[in-house]
Amino acid sequence: MTDYPPGFFDRADTGDDARFYGPPRLVQHIDDEAIAAVGAYYDEVGVTGDVLDLMSSWVSHLRTRPRHLTVLGMNAAELEANPMADARVVRDLNADPALPFGDAAFDTAICTVSVDYLVAPVGVCAEVARVLRPGGTFALTFSNRCFPTKAVRGWLAADDEGRAAIVASYLRDAGGFDEPVAQRRPSRGDPVIAVHAVRR
C-alpha cells in the first residue's frame, strides 16, 4: 500500500461537494485538441459494451456510442444533457465511495479530468474493480487544468508525470487490476495524460 503523505487528500474547499457542484456547468473543461485526444484514446483502449462514465457531466468524450452508457456525477442537469447516456446516477463519491451497482455489471469504466477531486480514490478504484467484468478496462484521463480548491493537495503539488504515477498507485492499491499503463497522449492543446488498467 502506498504511504500517502499527511495532508495529501486535504482540499482548500472543505465544503460540501453538493454545494460546489450545485450549479450546472455545461462547459468544456479541456480545449478542443485535448477533447479530440481523449476521444482517440478511448477509441484505442476500446470503451465498448456496458460502460460506466464516473464523475461525468454533459459529455462523455466517446466517438462511438457504446451498447449502454451509465453516467455518474454530482449534477442532475449536466447528466440529463448528456446525449449518449442511457442511465444517470447522481452520487457523491467523496461522501461514500461505494458504487450503487452489482458485481461485474460493466465492461468498461472511464473517468475524465476528475480523479483529482477524489478524497478516497483507492476505495473508488476498488469499487470500480468490483463492478467491472474480468478483462474489462478502467481508463482515466486528465490534464493540468482543474478546480484547484476542490482538487486534493497531493495532486496540486505534482507535475503531469507525478500525476500519472499517483493514478497508477491508486489502481495498484485498489487491487484487482493488472499493472496500470500510463502514457502521454498527443495533443497540441491542453496536455492529456492517460492511465488504464485491465480487471484481472
Name the site residues for ligand SAM (rule: CB under 6 A): 17, 21, 29, 55-57, 59, 61, 73-75, 78, 91-94, 112-114, 117
Task: Kindly tell me which of 115 and 168 has the beta carbon lying closer to ligand SAM.
Answer: 115
Task: Kindly tell me which of 55 and 132 has the beta carbon lying closer to ligand SAM.
Answer: 55
Smallest gap from Cβ 200 to ligand SAM, in A, equals: 26
Q: From CA 58, how far away is CA 129, in angstroms rounded? A: 25
Nearest to 140 by CA among 27, 16, 20, 56: 56
Q: From CA 28, how far away is CA 16, in angstroms rounded? A: 23
Distances (CA, A) of 42 to 46, 63, 66: 6, 8, 11
Q: Amino acid letter at 168? A: A
Task: Kindly tell me which of 77 and 165 has the beta carbon lying closer to ligand SAM.
Answer: 77
In the chain the beta strands, taken as DSSP E runs, fall at 50-54, 68-73, 87-90, 106-112, 132-142, 181-185, 192-198
DSSP state of 106: E
Nearest to 56 by CA among 119, 164, 141: 141
Smallest gap from Cβ 119 to ligand SAM, in A, equals: 8
Task: Kindly tell me which of 57 and 187 has the beta carbon lying closer to ligand SAM.
Answer: 57
What cell was used for 105? 455489471
Task: Kindly tell me which of 28 and 169 has the beta carbon lying closer to ligand SAM.
Answer: 28
Backbone angles phi, psi at 15, to 5 degrees: -70, 170
Task: Kindly tell me which of 84 and 178 has the beta carbon lying closer to ligand SAM.
Answer: 84
